[in-house]
Homo-oligomer: A and B are copies of this chain.
Amino acid sequence: MPLNLQGIQMNTFSVKELLSPDHLHQEVVVNGWVKTYRSNRFIALNDGSTINNIQCVVDFEEFDENLLKQINTGAALKISGTLVESQGKGQSVEIQVKEIMVHGGADPEAYPIQPKKHSLEFLREKAHLRVRTNTFAAIMRVRSALSFAVHQYFQKNGFFYVHTPIITGSDAEGAGEMFRVSTLDNKKPPLTEDGEIDYKEDFFGKETNLTVSGQLEAETYAMGLGKVYTFGPTFRAENSNTSRHLAEFWMIEPEVAFNDLDANMDLAEDFIKEVINYALENCMEDLQFLEQRLLDEEKSKPQAERSEMPLIEKLKFVSDNTFKRVTYTEAIDILRNSKPNKKKQFKYLIDEWGADLQSEHERFLVEKHFKCPVILFDYPAKIKAFYMRLNEDGKTVRAMDILFPGIGEIVGGSQREERLDILLEKIKALGIDEKELWWYLDLRKFGTAVHSGFGLGFERLVLFATGMGNIRDVIPFPRTPQNAEF
Q: Quick check: A140 and B160 within 8 Å, CB to CB?
A: yes
Q: Is the CB of B258 within 8 A of A6?
A: yes
Question: Please, how many angstroms separate the alpha-carbon atoms of A76 and B443 in the complex?
Answer: 11
B-side contacts of A257, CB under 8 Å: 31, 47-48, 76
Given that A2-B158, A267-B5 are contacting pairs, would A167 and B179 also be in contact in the complex, using a CB cutoff of 8 Å?
yes
Q: Contact check, B158 vs A140: say whether CB atoms are below 8 A apart.
A: no
A8 vs B261: C-alpha distance in the bound complex, in angstroms?
Answer: 11
Q: Are A225 and B479 in contact (CB under 8 A)?
A: no
Residue of A131, A187, A443 with highest tally of chain B CB at under 10 A: A131
The residues in A between 68 and 92 inclusive whose CB is less than 8 angstroms from any CB of B are 74-76, 78
Interface string of A160-195 (1 = CB under 8 A from B): 111111111110000001011111101101000000
A310 sits at the interface (CB 8 A): no
CB pair B446 A129 closer than 8 Å = yes
Partner of A187 from the list B197, B260, B444, B484 (CB cut-off 8 Å) is: B197
Query: Which residues of B lie under 8 Å from residue A49 when comparing CB positions?
Result: 158, 225-227
Pick the contact of A140 from B33, B127, B162 — CB < 8 Å?
A: B162
Q: Measured between alpha carbons, how far is A225 from B259 in the docked complex, in Å?
A: 40
* Chain B residues positioned under 8 Å from A258 (CB to CB): 6-7, 31, 47, 78, 103
Q: Which one of A36-44, A141-149, A388-396 is at the B interface?
A: A141-149
A426-475 contacts to B, CB under 8 A, are 439-440, 442-450, 475
The reply to whether A7 and B259 form a contact with Cβ atoms under 8 Å apart is yes
Q: Which residue of B lies closest to A237 (CB)?
A: B183
Stretch at the interface among A19-27, A204-212, A291-299: A204-212
Q: Is the CB of B47 within 8 A of A165?
A: no
> How far, in Å, is A94 (CB) from chain B's closest CB?
20
Contact in complex: B206, A484 (CB < 8 Å): yes
> Which residues of chain A from 102 to 117 have any CB-CB distance to chain B below 8 Å in the complex?
103-107, 110-111, 113
Residues of B within 8 A of A106 (CB): 445-447
Indicate if the CB atoms of B180 and A183 lie closer than 8 Å: yes
Chain B residue at smallest Cβ distance from A458 = B163
Report yes or no: B182 in contact with A182, Cβ–Cβ below 8 A. Answer: yes
Partner of A225, one of B141, B189, B484: B141
List 5 tightest A-B contacts by C-beta distance, closest first: A104-B448, A48-B225, A103-B449, A131-B224, A48-B226
| 28 A-B residue pairings within 8 Å (CB atoms) | A14-B158, A31-B258, A32-B226, A34-B447, A47-B257, A48-B227, A103-B449, A104-B446, A110-B445, A111-B446, A113-B446, A128-B217, A128-B220, A128-B442, A131-B221, A148-B151, A165-B477, A166-B166, A166-B210, A169-B485, A169-B486, A183-B237, A203-B482, A204-B247, A204-B481, A205-B484, A217-B476, A220-B486
